[in-house]
Amino acid sequence: MMRTTVFSIWLALIPFASGCGESDADARSMEISVLSAREVTIGNVPPDIGHAHIVLRVSMVNGDDISHEIGPSAFWITSSDGLERPASTLLTAQLPDGCPSAALLTAGAPKQCDVAFELSLSLNLEQLRYRDSSASTAAPVPAVEYCERCGTNTCIDLARSLDHCGACDRKLSTSMHCVEGVPTCASADLIACPPLHPGADLLCEAPEPRCGCGLPCEEHLTSCPENACYYGEALTSGDCNDRCALYDLRCVNAIGYQSYESELTDCAATADSYSEVFCLCEE
């Protein structure tokens, strides 16, 4: 009697086990793919040193007959060290198209959204894993598109940065805009001129002849060291304040030459200190 009872219970469990297998098969119809992986700076707080904010663009199709969660808590990244790391709910919430927390993807529906992670730059990303209470799947992660940092710990927008316009360390003055990486003057009446010396900001100047802007100098400003129009005759006496005043101009800068080497100096420099001094005069 005992054997018959046990045998009957075992038979009764077979359909239940089979049903579990069918449910697992159905769960696999929740499909994901990673369309892109890129580094961005999210919010006002930069990542820890040696880390980066990585955003994955995820495409999902729910081929199941039930809804599935699509919030950031359902996504994990696997990397070359063999560990899984969860997506950041806080970072994902700050993305314009972040996967919404506590949201459900209804049966038969597609969806694309972004999930964010803060990860070490030393990791090689391998798979994005998805799992909720009734589904589990994974997709490979493409190569990450890392941003330009220009020696900082955050991504630099070379298209708009005044400190790095179009290239690292290409600085603009406050009278300029960086438009798609091109230095542009705020006023249409001004033109963009190269800096007066290496490391200086680019400037907006009135469209008058200036060597630095690729145009000839004014008649009494014929020498062009350091991409600017300087007085065309080396200073022999006095200083540059006196020389510029002769033409009702003011001294802006001076450049001194000694043994064929030049350095930017100030308007008080005299020929006693250098073999030649050129004066930059402006109205």
Buried b (16+ CB within 10 A) or exposed e, 150-160: beeebbbebee
Q: Which of 213, 201, 218 is nearest to 282 (CA)?
A: 218
Q: What is the pLDDT along the chain (283 residues), one digit of tens a residue?
A: 444 333 332 323 333 333 444 444 444 478 999 999 999 989 888 888 889 999 999 999 999 889 999 999 999 999 999 999 999 999 999 999 999 998 999 998 999 999 999 999 999 999 999 999 888 999 999 999 998 888 887 888 899 888 898 889 888 777 778 889 888 877 766 666 655 444 455 666 655 544 444 444 554 444 444 445 555 556 777 888 887 787 777 887 777 777 656 677 788 877 777 777 777 777 6
- Cα–Cα distances (Å) from 142 to 3, 127, 281, in that order, read 57, 9, 56
Phi, psi for residue 99 in degrees, rounded to 5:
-60, 125
What is the rounded CA–CA span in Å between residue 127 and residue 141?
5
CA 15 to CA 209: how far, in whole Å?
Answer: 91
pTM: 0.57
Which domains occur in the chain, in start order? Answer: 26-140 (2.60.40.1240), 157-207 (no CATH), 218-283 (no CATH)
Cβ neighbourhood burial of 257 (10 Å; 0-12, 13-18, 19+): middle
In angstroms, the first-to-last Cα distance of the chain is: 115
